[in-house]
Structure 1
Amino acid sequence: MFMDGVHKVAKELVEDIDDANFSTTFKVIEGNLLKEYKEFKIVVKATPKSENSTSLIHWTMEYEKLKEDVPEPFSVLKFLVHLSKDIDDHHTKK
């Protein structure tokens, strides 16, 4: 993936799948993000709007910076927004 014009790599591990709450937690275990963040997790949770209907998707980023001057991970957030749009486009095509 490219973020802020720089090629980034992140190796993730599925840390938890919560079927009851429709959520999955991913933990970054290798890659560029760990050069700036001690720990980085992404949680994706689906909230069904109604039965047999679309769902709302909630992304949560949990991270700890290695240093105080490390920027907030807005580029990761931007990537997740684009990813959500791509998934939505895929599922709404007929």
Structure 2
Amino acid sequence: MAGLPCKLVAQVAFKAGGDVFHYLMAKRPQHLANVTPGKIQSCDVLQGSYGTDGSVIQWKYTLDGKEETAKQALQDIDEEKKTVTYKMLEGELLQLYKNMIIIFHVETKNGVDFITWTITYELISADTPHPLSLIKFFIEFTKEIETHIFG
């Protein structure tokens, strides 16, 4: 099992407008600490700038009641397809998984916007659990942003 590529996917209907979600995630992730303070404590640019491919950002967040950090490279921001791809560079998650890539994609089906989260990763050992709490984090995070926008 170790070293095998794995994938988790979750899709959430987003009534607050997919364009708004994409804009926040791609261009203004530093504002997410204000929107979801129980999940995101900060997002800082270490290299480059927000919304620019190749930039490096660092998140401080709470997962399963523990404060963690994640240093990520923005690999691909596609305004037309409304996708953003993050490659994990450092952080607690890389103690359990390697080659972790996190992608979110906004798409509209039958007039409804959906946010799709995809996590691709490799388990470091066969007894490592899949990152189900991380995909749950993204589902809750998406719903909290929607609630915040709607008020």
Listed as ranges, the gaps of 5+ residues in structure 2 are 1-60
Task: Tell me, in whole angstroms, the C-alpha distance in 1 between the residues paired with 2:105 and 2:137.
Answer: 17
Contact kept? 1:16, 1:24, Cα under 8 Å = yes
Once the 2 structures are TM-superposed, how far is the Cα of residue 6 of structure 1 from its aligned partner? 2.4
- Aligned equivalent of 2:116, options 58, 66, 74: 58
Q: Which residue type is aligned with residue 75 of structure 2? A: E
Q: Displaced runs of 4+ in structure 1, greater than 3 A?
A: none
Give the equivalent residue in structure 2 for 1:83.
Answer: 141
Give the equivalent residue in structure 2 for 1:9.
Answer: 69
Task: Tell me, in whole angstroms, the C-alpha distance in 2 between the residues paired with 1:13 and 1:38.
Answer: 15
Contact kept? 1:39, 1:65, Cα under 8 Å = no
TM-score by length of 2: 0.55
Larger RCO, structures 1/2 (Cα 8 Å, 6+ apart):
2
Give the equivalent residue in structure 1 for 2:98.
Answer: 38
Identity of aligned residues (%): 34
Give the equivalent residue in structure 2 for 1:19.
Answer: 79
RMSD, aligned α-carbons: 1.7
How many residues are aligned here? Answer: 91
TM-score by length of 1: 0.84
Listed as ranges, the gaps of 5+ residues in structure 1 are none
Q: Which residue type is aligned with residue 68 of structure 1? A: A
